[in-house]
Amino acid sequence: MKVDTHQHFWNLAKVEYAWLVPAYGSLYANFAPQDLEPQLKAAGIDRTVLVQSANNNEDTVSMLTQAECFDWIGAVVGWVPLYDHAEAAKLLDRYAKHPKWRGVRHLNHEEPDPDWLVRPDVLQGLKLLEERDMTFDVVAIFPKHIGHVPTLAEHAPKLKIIIDHLAKPPIKDKKIDEWRAAMARCAQYPNVYAKVSGLNTAADWNNWSAADLKPYIDAAIELFGADRCMFGSDWPVAILAGDYAKVWRETNEALKGRSQAEIDAVLGGTAQKVYRVG
């Protein structure tokens, strides 16, 4: 099974996306399942993980509704107010009744406080996810947020924590050492996973290929192991630097030379285990 573990939908008329402004150009539009479906079929993708795009309930409800209509949406990662424990617990218990609900993400990189992730109220909120065997996708952008991941992993050692977009490594600048060291500290914790996603928008948007991505993908697999790495397209954000087909093609090219077992894990096996995609 091939699984894309990171894609989004949004409808500007129905949900407020505070970060999404006209300056984003082609992203400032509506993106629906019908837009992605033919691209998935062309790439041979069997399932996706639909991930939140806004810190509000409307986005989550919209995603769960879409997941009911399209079988290829295999899992949903939504949002709850982790800092409001009573409300978060209520919502988590409600969403847990949906067969495709899996976990939570918060757009922490949009918070003015760079240490939002390690606020005591947020850390306590993560325990609610841990107690319910749910996942947490963390926007651990390098270098600002990645340093908090070990704290999260120690605080909730049974919580599956997924680093989105390999923490956005400095691919465009062709720097790797400091990013690799930060990722190595995260990889020491067995409950931390890494998404090979969003790398094209960390590279030179107008001129990137598998050769640019490969050193970072190789490092992630060497540090975490293929059984803790998973592919994600980050569509539609990915269209800022290419299209779905290119992201899929160049990721596969960057994985060449790996064992078939490793490739199968990154392209689907890990996702099946972590997000329970079937």
* Cα gap 250→235, rounded to integer Å: 15
pLDDT value, residue 205 = 94
Q: pLDDT averaged over consecutive 10-residue blocks of the chain (278 residues)? A: 98 96 96 98 98 98 98 98 98 98 97 97 98 97 96 98 98 97 98 97 96 98 98 97 97 98 98 97
Query: Rounded to whole angstroms, what are the CA distances from 202 to 18, 47, 79, 162, 195?
Result: 22, 25, 25, 18, 14
pLDDT value, residue 239 = 96
Q: Where are the beta strands (DSSP E) in the chain?
A: 3-7, 47-51, 73-78, 101-105, 135-138, 160-163, 192-196, 229-231
pLDDT value, residue 86 = 98
Q: Does domain 3-274 have CATH number 3.40.50.10860?
A: no
CB 230 within 8 A of CB 51: no
List the end-to-end C-alpha distance of the chain, in Å, as a whole number.
Answer: 8
* Cα gap 251→171, rounded to integer Å: 14
All structural domains of the chain with their residue ranges: 3-274
Q: Which amino acid makes up residue 245?
A: A
pLDDT value, residue 249 = 98
167 CB-side CA count, 13 A: 30
pTM above 0.95, yes or no: yes
pLDDT value, residue 29 = 97
pLDDT value, residue 153 = 98
pLDDT value, residue 73 = 98
- Of 92, 148, 147, 156, nearest to 124 by C-alpha is 156
